[in-house]
């Protein structure tokens, strides 16, 4: 696929956009992916990414994201690659991929605010990449939408598919985006004995009024700060991947739907889908994300 052809295809698909520039999207009946679905409990990730982008995101955090992506995927795999960011949120890692020399980049998210924020961040931090990067609204549970995107050398789904409400179907659908021989980066919450308790906490959090959510943020966030420091032995404020502690607290507490899986479970399911597991990077804390580097077997 040439760069010009990529731009033409993306432009053609935006013909159906509404007057505000957000793309039309088919939303499966029960999805709450990235807070954009029909569930009353679904967290609005787009609002959180907007807050992060307006108040926290800067050049040093973008540089940290570039370093994180290079360390996880590898610069050799990214240079000249077709890259897809699933649940792109603020667009930070699609932009980081652009800085690392991808040929084409597409980020998509079901949350319309997230898509607007990502486009704004592209114009703010990397306008020179506008001819190689595009952001669209779409759901990982919409097989028709995903099937229309083509194939990519690297598909990056970091911390998004466990919020769809249908994690395994979403993973199977998104896996079809990966070119045979291509790389699938998948980050999923680790299964832990406290996971069902966190499910309950997230439900209560999302049912709470805004003022009470702020109380939850500070109360549980402070406990999370102390627990993380005790477990890791490092200052939780020194975040990796360009993130920010208190934004992550809101993301964690509000992040519902919420699913999780153990390493062996992911290995078995991905093997059945035609992927070889190359590497697993465990989370810093027990309920954090395992990072899976997978390669799709040749057809």
Residue whose entry in the numeric block shows the structure tokens 């069902």: 196
Task: Pick the closest to residue 56 from 289, 190, 245, 231 (CA basis).
Answer: 245
254-285 tens-digit pLDDT? 999 999 999 999 999 999 999 999 999 999 88
Classify burial at 205, counting beta carbons within 10 Å of its beta carbon; exposed 0-12, middle 13-18, buried 19 or more.
Answer: buried
Give CA–CA dist 38/215, Å, rounded. Answer: 26
> pLDDT value at position 229?
77
**Residue 286 CB neighbour total at 10 angstroms:** 14
> pLDDT value at position 36?
44
201-258 tens-digit pLDDT? 999 999 998 888 888 888 887 887 787 777 777 776 666 777 777 788 888 899 999 9
Considering the chain, what percentage of its residues have pLDDT values greater than 90? 67
Lowest mean pLDDT among 119-128, 134-143, 223-232, 272-281: 223-232
Kindly list the domain boundaries of the chain, sorted by start residue.
3-14+28-38+45-191+260-296, 195-254
> pLDDT value at position 27?
36
Give CA–CA dist 89/109, Å, rounded. Answer: 6
Per DSSP, the residues of 100-126 read TT-SEEEEEES-HHHHHHHHHHHHHH-
> What mean pLDDT, rounded, does the chain reach?
86
Per-residue pLDDT band at 4 (split at 50, 70, 90): very low
For the whole model, what pTM was predicted?
0.84
Find the mean pLDDT for residues 144-160.
97
What does DSSP assign to residue 140? T
Taking CA atoms, 44 is separated from 31, 41, 162, in Å, by 13, 9, 15
Please tell me the class of the 3-14+28-38+45-191+260-296 domain: alpha beta
């Amino acid at each position: 696929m040439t760069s010009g052809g990529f731009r033409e295809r993306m432009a053609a698909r935006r013909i159906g956009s509404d007057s505000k520039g957000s793309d039309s999207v088919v939303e499966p009946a029960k999805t709450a992916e990235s807070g954009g679905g029909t569930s009353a409990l679904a967290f609005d990730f787009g609002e959180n990414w907007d807050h992060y982008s307006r108040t926290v995101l800067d050049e040093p955090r973008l540089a940290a994201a570039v370093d994180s992506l290079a360390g996880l995927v590898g610069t050799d795999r990214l240079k000249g690659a077709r890259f897809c960011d699933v649940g792109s949120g603020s667009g930070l890692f699609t932009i980081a991929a652009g800085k690392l020399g991808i040929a084409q980049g597409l980020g998509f998210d079901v949350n319309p605010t997230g898509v607007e924020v990502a486009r704004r961040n592209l114009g703010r931090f990397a306008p020179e990449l506008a001819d190689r990067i595009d952001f669209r609204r779409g759901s990982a549970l919409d097989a028709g939408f995903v099937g229309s995107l083509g194939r990519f050398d690297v598909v990056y789904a970091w911390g998004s598919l466990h919020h769809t409400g249908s994690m395994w179907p979403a993973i199977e659908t998104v896996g079809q985006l990966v070119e045979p021989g291509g790389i699938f980066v998948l980050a999923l919450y680790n299964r832990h004995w406290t996971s069902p308790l966190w499910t309950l906490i997230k439900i209560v959090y999302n049912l709470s009024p805004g003022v009470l959510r702020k109380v939850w943020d500070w109360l549980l966030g402070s406990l999370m700060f102390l627990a993380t420091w005790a477990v890791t032995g490092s200052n939780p404020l020194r975040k990796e991947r360009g993130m920010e502690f208190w934004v992550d607290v809101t993301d964690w507490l509000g992040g519902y739907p919420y699913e999780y899986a153990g390493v062996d479970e992911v290995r078995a399911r991905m093997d059945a889908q035609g992927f070889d597991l190359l590497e697993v990077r465990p989370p810093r804390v027990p309920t954090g994300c395992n990072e899976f580097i997978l390669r799709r077997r040749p057809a």
